[in-house]
């Protein structure tokens, strides 16, 4: 008899929630914010692997309205980098000097090249980068320990697209 009650509750939960314990998704749009699909779906060239919980996490804090990042573009950012325990290891804000690099060509850690895809000037993102997309088992000197997950707050200041002929 108890087994029948458990089955009945499971059927009720499935009908009420959709998938056991998971509330149904509501189709609600809030003006000025990205939809879930826009926030989470970035096309990353050359990436065919499925994302896992240990992969790059991207959170848009401010969605920019300017020029969008593009492979080979010279981009300028301000950023602050911390370990998961909150220890700050680097900050262009603290130095008072933004950081400029060629985007998408391997001049920075893979987590940045992938995490800044689709970002627009004026935008601000938080990137949570697993060690495999950062400094891995080696770490980085005395500042970043081996196998460290890194958290960056990145503000995109400028995108200078490569000249086309």
Active site residues: 79, 89-90, 109, 135, 152
Distance of CA 156 to the CA centre of its chain: 14
The conformation of residue 19, written as its DSSP 8-state character, comes to: B
SS3 (DSSP) at 99: strand
For 22, list phi and psi in degrees, rounded to 5: -105, 115
What angle is formed at CA 110 by the lines to CA 138 and CA 43, rounded to 5 degrees?
A: 155
Q: Which long-range contacts (CB under 8 A, 24 or more apart) does 133-139 make?
A: 133/55, 133/56, 133/109, 134/109, 134/110, 135/109
> In terms of DSSP bridges, do strands 88-91 and 74-83 run parallel, antiparallel, or are they unpaired?
antiparallel
Kindly state the tokens that stand for 82: 């911390």
């Amino acid at each position: 008899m108890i087994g029948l009650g458990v089955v009945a509750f499971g059927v009720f939960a499935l009908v009420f929630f959709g998938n056991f314990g998971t509330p149904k998704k509501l189709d609600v749009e809030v003006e000025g914010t990205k939809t879930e699909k826009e926030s989470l779906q970035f096309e990353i060239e050359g990436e065919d692997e499925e994302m896992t919980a240990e992969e790059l996490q991207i959170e848009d804090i401010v969605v920019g309205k300017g020029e969008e990042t593009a492979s080979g573009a010279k981009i300028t950012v301000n950023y602050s980098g911390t370990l998961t325990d909150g220890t700050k290891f680097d900050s262009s804000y603290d130095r008072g000097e933004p950081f400029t690099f060629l985007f998408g060509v391997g001049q920075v850690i893979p987590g940045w090249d992938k995490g800044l895809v689709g970002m627009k000037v004026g935008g601000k993102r938080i990137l949570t980068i697993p060690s495999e997309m950062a400094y891995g088992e080696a770490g980085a000197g005395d500042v970043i320990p081996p196998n460290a997950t890194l958290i960056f707050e990145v503000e995109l200041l400028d995108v200078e697209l490569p000249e086309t002929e």
